[in-house]
Structure 1
Amino acid sequence: MASIDINNLNSWDKEFKTDLSHQLASTVLKNDDANTILLNRSRLLEQDLRVFNTAISTPGAPVTNQRSSGRCWLFAATNQLRINVAAELNLKEFELSQAYLFFYDKLEKANYFLDQIIDTHEEEIGSRLVDYLLTDPTSDGGQYSMLLNLVKKYGLLPKDLYNDLPFSTTSSRTWNGLLKTKLREFAEELRNELSQGKDVTKLRAELQKEIFRLMSLFMDFPRFKPDEEFTWSYEDKDGKVHTLKTTPLEFASKYAKLDTKKPVSLINDPRHPYGKLIEIERLGNVLGGDKVIYLNVDNKVLADLVVKRLKNNKTIFFGSHTPKFMDRKFGIMDVQLWNLPAIKYDLKQEKASRIRYGESLMTHAMLITGAHIDENTQQPVRYRVENSWGKDSGKDGMYVMTQEYFEEYCFQIVVDIDELPKELAAKFTSKVENPILLPIWDPMGALAQ
């Protein structure tokens, strides 16, 4: 056992006080924020290049803002789909309702939680699984497969017909906290009943009703059923006014052009073999919905698929460890943007080790809308990224991401299955391919917020 020795501390202090480079760094860092002081301005100027030779023809508008909520995955997905709506209806600007999906996601997650509590009632309180389930049962965050589950069941709406509410959707922490508190109470009720061998069918129905009542205090129940016709009037970019009659489900398929059978998720997780499916156990939102399954591939495959989609005028939903090495003011995502070696702060862990030791995971979802391809190597060197933090973040909401950042801190992209090479597409359709099962608390099960 090696306890702290005050004599060692005194000796080390004297040593560092004779090191002029250490004293210079110490003086500077004690007088201002480290992110400001260590920002490498020369590197920033080198990477602040807003020219991309491969990009989608018409970026979405307006710049979106998820504000103080963890809805990035819903914003990234709807920012992607709105481009199809705008093209179909000749719109200058358009947003899909993120709040509509947010309402049903909260409702479904709460119900999913009840099901998980019932299914694990024989597990001890204090077990890692039960503790994890109780940690954040209605997190704002999500995965792309969860988005597909919602759209399959509820469709999509224009934002005009179901807009954000202050403090409910744009700042969700307080009411989400109230909902979590009740769900933990409900978990105890269910476990107590089940421990006595009682049927909890009636109790669960009562709890579902109470969850809906609580949610309706903070958000309005959408007035259109998924298969119920709504009427929406809009003005196109030529100034002509139109009236559209459709349903949320039809709006998703016909106008947003989302074929929910096509999107698949690919990740780069160097802890596991490439070419293998990875499934996250117990992670989901809609009971009976799609499981969270990825195909693990190397960074070259990810980058090639990104470029392929861009050349076909399609954006790419991706998940990264944000805001790691991201400057929000200048809109740069670059591993070398801060001069950490100047203070002898050298980062030695590789990506696999960072995942294993809790240093790296997917935390945020955005869109790739462009790339710059090196003419000699034909490989991407940087990407144009559309974020959902408003116009004051980055340059009018847009960021530049270097290829190095993409390889080190990007974890997931979503593409259509028919865009994959045949041997990779077959992994998703094979009846004999057994996925690697990872527990719900694994970093690859992190929810983008």
Structure 2
Amino acid sequence: MVYEKSDVSLEALSQWTEEFKTDIKTQIGGTVLQHSNADEILINRSQEIANKNVFNTKIEIEGLPVMDQKASGRCWLFASTNLLRITAMKKYNLKEVKLSPSYLFFYDKLERCNYYLDLIIESYKEPAESRLIQWFLTDPATDGGQFTMMTQIVDKYGVVPDQIYPDSFNTTTSRIMDNMLNFKLREYALVLRTMLENGEDITTKKTELQKEIYRMLTMFLGNPPKPNEEFTWEFYDKDGKYQSITTTPIAYSKEVLEFDTPEYISLLNDPRNDYNKLIKVDRLGNVVNGDPVVYLNLEIKKLSQAIVNRIKNNKPVFFGSDTPKFMDKKRGIMDVDLWDFQLLGYDVNTMSKKDRVIYGHSLMTHAMLITAVHVDEAGDPIRYRVENSWGTKTGQDGYYVMSQKYLEEYVYQVVVEKSELSALDIDVKILEDSEPIVLPPYDPMGALAHL
């Protein structure tokens, strides 16, 4: 079949206009959309009522206070530290505790820039106009990241409470700093590629560039503690009793938070690829010579069961989703069926999850924490309680109710401990697969680390 290009026919426009004038659905839809906010007027009231913030299975202690990442892309660090603080709250009888995402943010930026420079060096023979190099140059100082990337920073630098390294202006509003870092990193890419093309030794130059990046970060964010530098953590417990602990960032993560980083594995639901296989996004990382970001690809029902199992075992769940699609920030609801788009003759269910990823309509954009689940009599999940990091002015005091359908359609990642795989009928030996599926650096499954 030969297709011939055609323009927009003025005759067809006239015909369509007359046709739609007699179509009641189109006319009512036009009146609604031209005079009202569709996000409000199309709310399905019965679905709103069904998403109750009540759960029959929840963890004993939820983290307090609700955190706020503000104008930064640090959701993965907030979701991670919100998970880690639960251990400290239990151990020391605390009403609330704030860990420092800013501390991890500083060292991630430092390591990420170094990782980027190495990518530029190893690929210098690629044309600058190639898709690979242009991808490296797109946003090298990005705020985003993945759970495994967090563990790489924690292993090397540890964790500190927020009182030891609190937010600065540029951790909460990172755009200006990121723009300046991006300019320098692109400039450094030109410098290093030129030197390599001329056969020059770049060892000293790279160290100079790393030093300048460190200088910029200390100016924007302030000097953080070094991983083995002692600090004193002071706090009151629930009974008002004063306590203090002198430790180091490395010891704090291992002894206070008891965080065993190698024990964790990210489960993925990527319907484009084979299930029960490892998936790796090529060149996705932040620490040179660190562990690669690897996922175990499973059917979405397995991810749901993994969440239920962890909540029953009194453990919160880190997860990655395509947010804020189908999220109502005012009501604190994440539900595909919350809006009656069908009233306008508009169908949002025409593409499968697989096709949405392939055709660029969905990708993993945000990380949060699940702290409760409501299950039916058969033990199947109906809805989940989600702890976000956008402060208390969104959702229901910072929390959201997520429906099972939303999870199935827009959740991509769930983090569990390897010891929990057996409950999913998965042999841990599957993690030893030496030939994972390798996706290109710009694949949507790596998007959370580039936003």
CA–CA distance in 1 between the matches of 2:25 and 2:442?
42
1:297-316 to 2 correspondence within 5 Å?
297-316=298-317
Does the aligned pair in 2 maintain the 1:275–1:424 contact within 8 Å?
A: no
1:144-183 to 2 correspondence within 5 Å?
144-166=147-169, 168-183=170-185
Aligned partner (choices 24, 27, 31) of residue 23 of structure 1 = 27
Q: Do structure 1's residue 345 and structure 2's residue 379 form an aligned pair?
A: no
Bigger drift between 307-316 and 419-428 goes to 419-428
Any unmatched runs of 5+ in structure 2? none
Does the aligned pair in 1 maintain the 2:279–2:296 contact within 8 Å?
A: yes
Deviation at 1:71, TM superposition (A): 0.5
Number of residue pairs the alignment of both structures matches: 443
Amino acid at match of 2:112: K
CA–CA distance in 2 between the matches of 1:296 and 1:325?
24
Aligned partner (choices 19, 33, 40) of residue 37 of structure 2 = 33
Q: Do structure 1's residue 334 and structure 2's residue 335 form an aligned pair?
A: yes
Does the aligned pair in 2 maintain the 1:334–1:405 contact within 8 Å?
A: yes
For 1:200, the equivalent position in structure 2 comes to: 202
Report the 3-state secondary structure (helix = DSSP H, G, I; strand = E; otherwise coil) of the residue aligned with 2:171: coil
Does the aligned pair in 2 maintain the 1:55–1:311 contact within 8 Å?
A: yes
CA–CA distance in 2 between the matches of 1:433 and 1:119?
23
Deviation at 1:311, TM superposition (A): 0.9
Amino acid at match of 1:98: P
CA–CA distance in 1 between the matches of 2:347 and 2:289?
46
Q: Deviations over 1:115-144 (max 9, x none)?
A: 101111111111111111100111111000
Does the aligned pair in 2 maintain the 1:263–1:416 contact within 8 Å?
A: yes
RMSD of the TM alignment (CA)?
Answer: 1.1
Identity of aligned residues (%): 51
Any unmatched runs of 5+ in structure 1? none
Q: Do structure 1's residue 5 and structure 2's residue 9 form an aligned pair?
A: yes
Amino acid at match of 1:38: L
Amino acid at match of 1:401: M
Deviation at 1:393, TM superposition (A): 1.0
For 2:407, the equivalent position in structure 1 comes to: 406
CA–CA distance in 2 between the matches of 1:38 and 1:80?
35
Does the aligned pair in 2 maintain the 1:351–1:408 contact within 8 Å?
A: yes
Does the aligned pair in 2 maintain the 1:72–1:364 contact within 8 Å?
A: yes
CA–CA distance in 2 between the matches of 1:423 and 1:234?
42
Q: Deviations over 1:225-276 (max 9, x none)?
A: 2122212221111111112111111100111111011010001111111100
Does the aligned pair in 1 maintain the 2:69–2:390 contact within 8 Å?
A: yes
CA–CA distance in 2 between the matches of 1:232 and 1:316?
26
Does the aligned pair in 2 maintain the 1:232–1:244 contact within 8 Å?
A: yes
For 1:219, the equivalent position in structure 2 comes to: 221
Does the aligned pair in 1 maintain the 2:392–2:398 contact within 8 Å?
A: yes
Q: Deviations over 1:293-326 (max 9, x none)?
A: 0000011111111111111100000000000000
Q: Do structure 1's residue 365 and structure 2's residue 375 form an aligned pair?
A: no
Q: Do structure 1's residue 228 and structure 2's residue 229 form an aligned pair?
A: yes
1:44-123 to 2 correspondence within 5 Å?
44-47=48-51, 49-123=52-126
Bigger drift between 298-307 and 350-359 goes to 298-307
CA–CA distance in 1 between the matches of 2:198 and 2:340?
61
Amino acid at match of 1:96: L
Report the 3-state secondary structure (helix = DSSP H, G, I; strand = E; otherwise coil) of the residue aligned with 2:172: coil
Report the 3-state secondary structure (helix = DSSP H, G, I; strand = E; otherwise coil) of the residue aligned with 1:226: coil
CA–CA distance in 1 between the matches of 2:145 and 2:281?
13
Amino acid at match of 1:366: M
CA–CA distance in 1 between the matches of 2:216 and 2:75?
24
CA–CA distance in 1 between the matches of 2:40 and 2:196?
55
Deviation at 1:86, TM superposition (A): 1.2
Does the aligned pair in 2 maintain the 1:157–1:248 contact within 8 Å?
A: yes
Deviation at 1:201, TM superposition (A): 0.7
TM (norm. structure 1) is: 0.97
For 1:237, the equivalent position in structure 2 comes to: 238
Does the aligned pair in 1 maintain the 2:164–2:231 contact within 8 Å?
A: no
CA–CA distance in 2 between the matches of 1:132 and 1:61?
38
Does the aligned pair in 2 maintain the 1:427–1:433 contact within 8 Å?
A: no
CA–CA distance in 2 between the matches of 1:171 and 1:16?
47
For 1:419, the equivalent position in structure 2 comes to: 420
Deviation at 1:20, TM superposition (A): 2.1
Does the aligned pair in 1 maintain the 2:387–2:399 contact within 8 Å?
A: yes
Does the aligned pair in 1 maintain the 2:25–2:345 contact within 8 Å?
A: no
Amino acid at match of 2:190: E
Does the aligned pair in 2 maintain the 1:72–1:365 contact within 8 Å?
A: yes
For 2:187, the equivalent position in structure 1 comes to: 185
For 1:132, the equivalent position in structure 2 comes to: 135
Deviation at 1:110, TM superposition (A): 0.8
Deviation at 1:423, TM superposition (A): 3.5
For 2:323, the equivalent position in structure 1 comes to: 322
CA–CA distance in 1 between the matches of 2:56 and 2:41?
33
Does the aligned pair in 2 maintain the 1:56–1:370 contact within 8 Å?
A: yes
Does the aligned pair in 2 maintain the 1:268–1:298 contact within 8 Å?
A: yes
CA–CA distance in 2 between the matches of 1:345 and 1:126?
40
Deviation at 1:176, TM superposition (A): 0.8
**1:327/1:424 Cα in 2 relative to 1: closer, same or farther (>3 Å)?**
farther
CA–CA distance in 1 between the matches of 2:207 and 2:21?
67
1:376-391 to 2 correspondence within 5 Å?
377-391=378-392
Does the aligned pair in 1 maintain the 2:100–2:162 contact within 8 Å?
A: yes
CA–CA distance in 1 between the matches of 2:374 and 2:237?
32
Deviation at 1:33, TM superposition (A): 2.2
